[in-house]
């Protein structure tokens, strides 16, 4: 079945540091890939998405590129802020449905 693997957290960074959160996937067919973010005490929000190979999703300074050859969708940001502290989830959907398969989430803590 489909699965998503994320690096384990927590990831602790200083403000303005470079962020990478690794995500790899296993899927039948050609999945669409997503990053969702969950701020403390809130529901998930879509951060960015990519629906086909080599697409780059971007939002709020975050980027991720759909790499079919390495089955990866790593999240990056050049300069993190304290307000980016949250849990980040990589996810995918395949086929005709809209069933999201999530990774285990990676907690990011950004300190001054």
Strands (E), the chain: 3-6, 11-14, 19-21, 23-26, 32-38, 44-50, 56-59, 62-65, 75-77, 86-93, 101-102, 106-111
Q: What is the dihedral of CA 25, 31, 32, 34, to 10 degrees?
A: -20
Q: Which stretch, 20-28, 41-49, 67-75, 78-86, contacts another protein (CB under 8 A)?
A: 41-49
d(CA 43, CA 80): 21
User: Among residues 38 and 65, whose Cβ is nearest to another protein?
Assistant: 38
Q: Does 96 bind another protein (CB under 8 A)?
A: yes
Looking at residues 17 to 36 of the shown chain, list those that interact with another protein (rule: CB under 8 A).
32
Q: Does 107 bind another protein (CB under 8 A)?
A: yes
Q: Which stretch, 17-25, 59-67, 77-85, 96-104, contacts another protein (CB under 8 A)?
A: 96-104
List residues binding another protein (CB under 8 A): 32, 38, 41-46, 49, 51, 87, 89, 93, 96-102, 104-105, 107
């Amino acid at each position: 079945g489909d699965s998503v693997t994320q690096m384990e957290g927590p990831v602790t960074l200083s403000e303005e540091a470079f962020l990478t959160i690794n995500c790899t996937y296993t899927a039948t067919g050609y999945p669409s890939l997503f990053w969702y973010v969950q701020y403390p005490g809130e529901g998930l929000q879509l951060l960015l998405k990519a629906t086909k190979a080599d697409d780059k999703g971007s939002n709020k300074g975050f980027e991720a590129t759909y790499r079919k050859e390495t089955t990866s969708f790593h999240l990056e940001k050049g300069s993190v802020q304290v307000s980016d502290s949250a849990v980040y989830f990589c996810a995918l959907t395949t086929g005709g449905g809209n069933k999201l398969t999530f990774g285990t989430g990676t907690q990011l803590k950004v300190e001054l």
